[in-house]
A and B are shown apart, each in its own frame.
Chain A
Amino acid sequence: MQHGKYRFIVGFLAPPLLIYAVFVISPFVQAFQISMTDWSGLVGAARFVGADNFVRLWESDDFWNALRHNVYMLALVPVVTLGMGLFFAFMLNVGGKRRKNEVVTGVAGSRFYKFVFFFPQVISITIIAVIWFNIYNPDPDDGMLNSLLGAVGLDGLQNAWLGEKSLALWCISAVMVWGHVGFYVVLFSAAMASIPRDIYEAALLDGAGRFHTFFRITLPLLWDTVQTGWVYMGIIALDAFALVQIMSVNMGGPDGATDVMPLRLYLTAFRDSQFGYAAAMGVAMLAVTMAFAVLTLRFARRERIEY
């Protein structure tokens, strides 16, 4: 029965496409349009200024500074997050002692750990930021981290954390890792569960240890999942807005040490009322993010292993 098939398909496709066009595509197009104007965001009138905003952006030390911090995070945060996610997932699924009737098992209490790891994923990023801001509170009595260091006799390591220029960006990056590891533990666990047990069995019979099992079997079979996680985590590292906006001192400080692109955009739009210039920043961010995603998918391509 072919009768009316296309009408059926088009009928179902049109409304979501229309919604997508209106709420996703059109704002993107508008951002390009606005980035060519000097729109203040406060009144309707705007003047066409051509590529002026982009020239200004190119010459802006502040934006390059912010971009540099995003790139630092991009280089570090996904590696650490995915690395830890893989390690924990491996330990929870394959890393345990051998038991009767089971080829591979996780470490004792792995169900509980899975729950604990996933927990930060359930909390809103705003709450995470506020919690960690208070953990980093420099006061040796009120700040959890500093009072902990004091309690174990490591007073020398007590620090102003977010107020310390050389540490602030890494303190915030650590929270980003903390907030996302759990998701990857669960994701990788699910992927590992689909690896046939007999592959592990064969490896174990051949005398492979944990190390070899991981690098020769688990990781290659998980490559697709890791790659997806990489792109996703990279995009998070290129954002970092909420954490920096809430946690950093002096909005991206101290002295610009934690500034990131989206924060710059936010300040330009809402503090300085320069929506045209901010839109140009948005366009630049889109270009950076797209370039990252395309390059990752291009260079991380491996031959797919069928099993």
Chain B
Amino acid sequence: MGSTSARNDGSTPESTTGGHAGPGRRDLIKRSAALGLVTVPTMAFLSACATGGGGGTSDNPSAATGEKTARNPLGVKEGAPLEAFIFKGGLGDQYAKDAEADYKATYKAEVKHTGTQQVGPKLTPRFAGGNPPDVIDNSGADHLDMNKLSTQGQLQDLAALLDAPSLDDPAKKVRDTIHPSTIEKGKHGDRFDVLYYAFTIYGTWYSQKLLDSKGWTYPKTLDEMVALCGEIKKAGLAPWTYAGKYPYYVHFNLFAQIAKIGGMEKWIAIDNLEPGAWTSNDAVRQVVEHYEELAAKKYFLAGSQGLTHIQSQTAWNKGKAVFLPNGSWVENESAPTTPEGFGMAVGALFDGGGDKMPHGTLRAEPSEPYIVAAKGRNPVGGMELLRIMLSKKHAQNFATKVKSLTCVMDATDGMTLSPGLASASKVFKEAGDNLISLQLQEWYPALTDEKIGGLTGQLLTGELKAADWIKKTQAEADKVAKDSSITKFKRTA
């Protein structure tokens, strides 16, 4: 230790307070050296905090475990505290609190709950410091990079959760109660370590009441839609609005429309960042040119490029615009401004020409990624909380509270659903197996949100032509493909 050597050099304050006029210059220098010696180890200690903590191994000796029984199949340690970090966005966090209350009652344990919109900035230092919370709803604009977390061994393998008996029927495994795409989407490689709890229906949202009152019907094809837009504009309304502040809202429709027309195989090439994946796909041209046409004909509500998602939803709620690209959380999120009897509804993707997927195809995807920290203090408890949330009781509670579906299949059968949710589950049932799921935004948010988002913003204001959008998008995708600092992922289905 450096600090002890300071005492050996004889320059401690006591030895230099003799009859002289105070310590000389040399003593002062010695003292500052001693100060330096104290400081250096302190700094070394601090650096250790920032970059030295945690290891690469995945075993977690400090994790709390208890005895496995029929009622406690994962082996939760009774009384061991649990910490949950829940994204508090469009869905709020009450549904998670309700599940935590059940956990608390069953295992007589303290549950610490944090609801936040900034999962990433708040939890990055905790992961780096080796004391992450047990359960995290890693959602929102500031979420943690799950690819990095997964590849660096920070995520608990959730296979045990999938194989545990479900809470409602001990004869059934959790695996068999949830939608298969949840398991597909939650994998990094062969390892299932992310549970997407909600099930989001993406699409074109509209007011059934408004359409009925004007005698319009939801269009089936892109051409029909453009024709209807003309009618709408003549009636003095804007056909579309969108959240220009977050252009990726437009991608909910734009990307899915490409996948529907061009087929999943070609979309997978895009997800995998294959060379020429955008430029060689004719569906890309078809869809993007269609957006160029919408922009040229001024079918977007003026000023949409400066609106937040909330502002665009409010304008839509007020009947200023007819269509809005969005996800099924919109019903809950826009509830404060939605007028009585609005008749919120969602439509399936439009047909183009020579489509690879049939009419009724829908982008429906598992969402709200829940992760359990492998190095947390109570990973088993974290999984158990998820098992509680996957029960029919909590799935129905979720549907009631936040008007959204969960990954638990058929959980809402027989319930009276709110208009938007009822419409969402109707189109979901109609779509059958024709579901689209996209990975690009999940894997490369910098590419989709910032780069392609910037291009889409310009496309929708008419500053960029479709051909340039495609060329530049391909160039940005190629840049990511070449960038060795970005972890790459591949999918086959």
A-contact 0/1 string along B51-84, CB 8 Å cutoff: 1111110000000000000000000000000000
Once A30-B46, A43-B154 are accepted as A-B contacts, the answer to whether A250 and B247 lie under 8 Å apart by CB is yes
- Which residues on A sit within 8 Å (CB–CB) of B153? 43
Q: Are B303 and A139 in contact (CB under 8 A)?
A: yes
- Which residues on A sit within 8 Å (CB–CB) of B52? 44
Our pick among A34, A255, A270, A271 for the contact of B458 (Cβ within 8 Å) is A255
Our pick among B17, B46, B154, B303 for the contact of A138 (Cβ within 8 Å) is B303
Q: Are A43 and B128 in contact (CB under 8 A)?
A: yes
- Which residues on A sit within 8 Å (CB–CB) of B303? 137-140, 143, 146, 159-160, 163
Nearest chain A CB to B68 CB, angstrom units: 30
Q: Are B305 and A22 in contact (CB under 8 A)?
A: no
Q: For residue A136, which residue of chain B has the nearest CB?
A: B306
8 Å CB interface, A230-261 against B: 249-256
DSSP class of B's interface residues: helix, strand, loop or mixed? helix
8 Å CB interface, A150-174 against B: 159-165
In the assembled complex, B101 has its CB within 8 A of some CB on chain A = no
Q: Are B446 and A272 in contact (CB under 8 A)?
A: yes
Complex Cα gap A259–B458 (Å): 16
Q: Are A43 and B454 in contact (CB under 8 A)?
A: no
Q: Are A139 and B449 in contact (CB under 8 A)?
A: no
Q: Which of A1-9, A119-127, A179-187 contacts B (4 or more CB under 8 A)?
A: A1-9
In the assembled complex, A83 has its CB within 8 A of some CB on chain B = no
- Which residues on B sit within 8 Å (CB–CB) of A161? 306
8 Å CB interface, A16-69 against B: 17-18, 21-22, 26, 29-30, 33-34, 37-46, 56
Once A26-B43, A44-B52 are accepted as A-B contacts, the answer to whether A138 and B454 lie under 8 Å apart by CB is no
Our pick among A14, A22, A44 for the contact of B42 (Cβ within 8 Å) is A22
- Which residues on B sit within 8 Å (CB–CB) of A26? 42-43, 46-47
Nearest chain B CB to A20 CB, angstrom units: 10
Complex Cα gap A12–B160 (Å): 59
Q: For residue B14, which residue of chain A has the nearest CB?
A: A7
Q: Are A42 and B22 in contact (CB under 8 A)?
A: no
Complex Cα gap A146–B13 (Å): 70
8 Å CB interface, A54-102 against B: 56
- Which residues on B sit within 8 Å (CB–CB) of A165? 458, 463
Nearest chain B CB to A82 CB, angstrom units: 30
Complex Cα gap A209–B302 (Å): 50
Q: Are B23 and A14 in contact (CB under 8 A)?
A: no
Our pick among B120, B128, B305, B450 for the contact of A163 (Cβ within 8 Å) is B305
In the assembled complex, B149 has its CB within 8 A of some CB on chain A = yes
* For the complex of A and B, 5 pairs with smallest distance between CB atoms: A138-B303, A163-B306, A163-B305, A255-B454, A44-B54
Given contacts A18-B42, A44-B51, A160-B461, 9 further A-B contacts (CB under 8 A): A7-B17, A29-B43, A40-B152, A42-B124, A42-B145, A137-B303, A139-B307, A163-B457, A253-B454
